[in-house]
Structure 1
Amino acid sequence: MAQTLHSLPEGYQALVIGARGAIGAALLDQLQADPRCATALGLHRQSDPALDLLDEAGVAAAAQQLAEQGPFQLIINAAGRLHGPGLMPEKKLGDLRLASLQAIFAANTFGPALLLHHFTPLLDRHCGRLAMLSAKVGSIGDNRLGGWYGYRASKAALNMLIRTAAIELRRSHPGALVAALHPGTVASALSAPFRGGELGRPPATAAAELLSVLDGLQSPDSGGFFSYTGEALPW
């Protein structure tokens, strides 16, 4: 069943970045099924416009092209990276490598920073909502197990970007809000090497939960870090 967003005006427009991933695709499906949503566009490397978060000129060009269709009342970034060929979360300090750290930060921090730069001008100043998928392991206060140095640090840095952007947007976009969202463990390619397929929730369930949390946020929540349960998470 589609999650209806009542906090946004009838006929709202939405963008989902990273729409080829499990959560991104599920978010796009939910928004396209919402009768109150007039337009829900999914962006990825093969979309039109194409969007590669590691290509700054391409991010700028995509934002410029989409500005003609704006403003957008909802922008969600569901892109991120945990592992890949030759890249796995570090278990100890001895596993740290510069190339791995650069790859993780590029996907989880630098790319989202470019989105904040180029896509916040597309956000509705009066009622827009912008969300970035973060991760609970990026919480410094909640870190009890250690390990996963690069991923933890990249998401903690993302949280700081969101917190800082919220302060600026209170001036430039007084009716808008931005938030970091923790999706929990979802059955996806990202979580598969870590028993995600066994323990994770279906992407459709996670997407509905995330949209429900986002729908319930209020202006004072801007810049916050929230779990899919609605719980405010520690920095």
Structure 2
Amino acid sequence: MNYIASYYGTSLTAIREINGMTDSQVKANKTIKIPIPYNRIKSPLLRSSFEKYSFIPVFYKVKKGDTIYKLFRIYFPRDSNEIKNINSIKTNIIKIDSKLLIGYYPVQHIEKPSTNIVLQTNRNKDTLSLTSDKSKNVLVTVSGAAKTFDSPFEKTEYAYVLSNKIPEHSVVELTNPMSNKKLTGKVIGKIPPGKYPLDILLLLAKNDALDLGFLDLKFFVSVKYYK
């Protein structure tokens, strides 16, 4: 867990305290909380600040009793119109359990440990499939340019995808058109603005790109998903 703490710029002690842990052992597939200072979360509008770091999106899950005023005057002091525009909110009404993009958090460029970390899990292709999202009616097929991003995990159960053009939470089937290798993934957030070209369809973790047979930092990928 030292690697995770270093990646997020925090300490083992802080992670243990917020999760009520007595040691550094974490079971596979377990979700843990990562304490981060709010003042390090960058506004998506401050594009110049994205040049020197890698960033991950930070979301807030709306709870009962939350209001636009409470969120952006008390919890996250920031211009509420900025957050409303980023999340395409037209009114001051926010739905319970909806996820709002608050900003982006800088993560560290560090070498991965030579041994497997506790959070590493074996990829089980049966845990997620394109048909699991079949409650949506229309199957969409798109192709485009993709790039890689640094992920804090050696392996995850399925591929983590960032995209501005594919709806968040969509289950996607990724295909390398040259080798026909396939991989299932899920869109977990949007691409940080200002850091990547506008023509990029999606970002894919480096290890997932290697699983598909891509060796370059930029490549062409075919994607299927339901909407």
- TM-score tier by shorter-chain length is under 0.3
Q: TM-score under structure 2 normalisation?
A: 0.27
Determine which structure has the larger strand proportion and give its number.
2
Q: TM-score under structure 1 normalisation?
A: 0.27
